[in-house]
Chain A
Amino acid sequence: MIPWLPPALTDLLIEAAWQTLLMTFGGAVIAIIAGLPLALLLHTTGPGGLLPNGWINRPIGLLVNAIRSTPFIILMVAIVPFTRLVAGTSIGTTAALVPLALAATAFIVRLFENALREVDRGVIEAARAMGATRTQIMARVLVPEALPGLIAAITVTLVGLVGYSAMAGAIGGGGLGDLGIRFGYQRFMPEVMATVVAILILFVQGLQSLGDWLVRRFSRR
């Protein structure tokens, strides 16, 4: 299929690409699902928010910062017991999803929070003046108004996850990065490395273009 690679490697490449896709999108989906409520909670309880509360805001903020400041390769190893608890194993693509999702969540929470903070305070005030509940303000004002920013945050997170997933090879997560290391680097096969890098570049470019297009599509400013 790929003329400059032996057929067996092509199969490996396809499997690795699939693993990368799984880790990237799987991690992102979990991060979005966990990150949006957390970001809304942080935004709401933050200073000047709809319901300021330092006792909720500060611990969550600290936890998010702690996860973000731990290098991913360390985080993966450090949370192995937790990974085993959640995934039942600490090795393989599924196991790699646990630290990936965790790191991506901490990452996306701050980006989401920034996007929510960009929403004009006056618009929120207008909704309050109309008698909107906090939930209505979140669901019908904050999220729709921040949508372009939220999409941009998801794009950045996806691109980041592509990079992180390459490190997941360290715990047997597989993926393109792992393939590149094992064949391209350790077995001196530059053609494998080049192919891996080319695929990753195309993948990231595709993600970015799609994200940008969606941002434009939903931007009404």
Chain B
Amino acid sequence: MPDAPGQPPAISLHALVREFRGRGTPMRALDGVSLDVAPGEVFGIVGRSGAGKSTLLRCVNLLERPDSGTVTVLGQEMTRLDEAALRQARRGIGMVFQHFNLLSARTVAGNIAFPLEIAGVPRAEREARVAELLPLVGLEARRDYYPAQLSGGQKQRVGIARALASRPRILLCDEATSALDPETTEEILSLIRSIRDRLDLTVLLITHEMAVVKAICDRVAVMEAGMVIEQGRVFDVFTRPAHPTTRRFVSEVIGHVVPPGTVARLPDPNPGEERRLLQVLFAGPSSTRAVVSEASRRFGLDLNIVSGRIDAIGSEPYGLMALAAYGPPNAIEEASAWMRSLGLDVSDIGEDPA
């Protein structure tokens, strides 16, 4: 974990269990989830619908109370607070919703001022704060509009301004862009990013879109069936997904390493030789350096480039290449070891593109 040493996590979830008893068998929405979110980072939780990510997010401000486990936010153990203290703590946690959840009877300004009103902030102060927030989200001209008169993106901007009104240090985003078109999504994501940079904010967001994670998250946790199946830096999870579910998620955004159907079209190996599919990942400066042709010459292999792409996650560029290697088994091993010695990440991905 990349948190600065000695700095306690902004959000710490420990062994959360939440079961829903409906008709029939009880459903475990959370099955022992533990997570730490470092101060200042944007942490994404990704998963299919029903994976438990929404329940998890709602446990942070205890909109959903876990059956067991502890929730600690900014050093305060939320699960122990009485109702009044919990309300107070919630005021320090902003929340943005998929369907905006704005008050239809209030104007933009009225919506942004609402959490301040709840907290008993005097009118003059509320108005001053609204005047500060409107330009931050680019809605100065929409001050007196009602939500019904706004576009989806504008509504979410109001939602974000409202979430920031009481100067929270934590921002929870519940599928904040899932109801928006791609262009507006991009807009809202860059707004969230710029807010995080400008304010002292830790962001925990849930989404079912890996593209959102790629665009703004520092770290990510992948959830399935109420459990975190994989977590780490976004770069690592994208470039070296370990769990099959994660691999499927990643491939949604960056495509398959080996496009389906490719293997069937590859020529068979000569007798006494072998064919292996290698995935080569080069991150940062090591780059290509004619690795393929050199490996081919040195180890007497036929190296067939099946696919390749250069991309960046955050500000980190990376290249991902799939090679079909033909030759004696030991030569393939040696070539792999040599490439690893150059700082490349080489893995045998078999012939089943998961």
Q: Of A127, A128, A133, A218, which contacts B105 at CB under 8 A?
A: A218
In the bound complex, residues from chain A placing their C-beta under 8 Å from that of B114 are 127, 130, 140
B88 an interface residue at 8 Å Cβ cutoff?
A: yes
* Listed A/B pairs (11) with beta-carbon separation below 8 Å: A122-B97, A126-B95, A126-B101, A127-B114, A130-B91, A140-B114, A140-B118, A145-B105, A218-B105, A220-B105, A221-B104
In the bound complex, residues from chain A placing their C-beta under 8 Å from that of B147 are 220
In the bound complex, residues from chain A placing their C-beta under 8 Å from that of B95 are 126, 129-130
A151 an interface residue at 8 Å Cβ cutoff?
A: no
A147 an interface residue at 8 Å Cβ cutoff?
A: yes
Q: Are A129 and B118 also in contact (CB < 8 A) when A145-B105, A221-B104 are?
A: no
Instruction: State the CA gap A133–B120 with chains docked (Å).
Output: 12
Which of B's residues lie within 8 Å of A, judged by CB? Answer: 61, 63, 86-91, 93, 95, 97, 99, 101-106, 114-115, 117-119, 146-148, 166, 172
User: A132 touching B118 by the CB < 8 A rule?
Assistant: yes
Which of A's residues lie within 8 Å of B, judged by CB? Answer: 120, 122-123, 125-133, 136, 140-141, 144-145, 147, 218, 220-221
Instruction: State the CA gap A129–B88 with chains docked (Å).
Output: 10
Q: Of B63, B88, B89, B117, which contacts A128 at CB under 8 A?
A: B63
Q: Of A120, A122, A130, A220, which contacts B146 at CB under 8 A?
A: A220
Q: Of A126, A130, A133, A145, which contacts B104 at CB under 8 A?
A: A145
Instruction: State the CA gap A221–B146 with chains docked (Å).
Output: 8
User: A126 touching B118 by the CB < 8 A rule?
Assistant: no
In the bound complex, residues from chain A placing their C-beta under 8 Å from that of B61 are 129
Instruction: State the CA gap A147–B117 with chains docked (Å).
Output: 20
In the bound complex, residues from chain A placing their C-beta under 8 Å from that of B146 are 220
In the bound complex, residues from chain B placing their C-beta under 8 Å from that of A141 are 103
Instruction: State the CA gap A122–B88 with chains docked (Å).
Output: 20
Minimum CB–CB distance from B272 to chain A (whole Å) comes to 66
In the bound complex, residues from chain B placing their C-beta under 8 Å from that of A128 are 63, 90
User: A132 touching B93 by the CB < 8 A rule?
Assistant: no
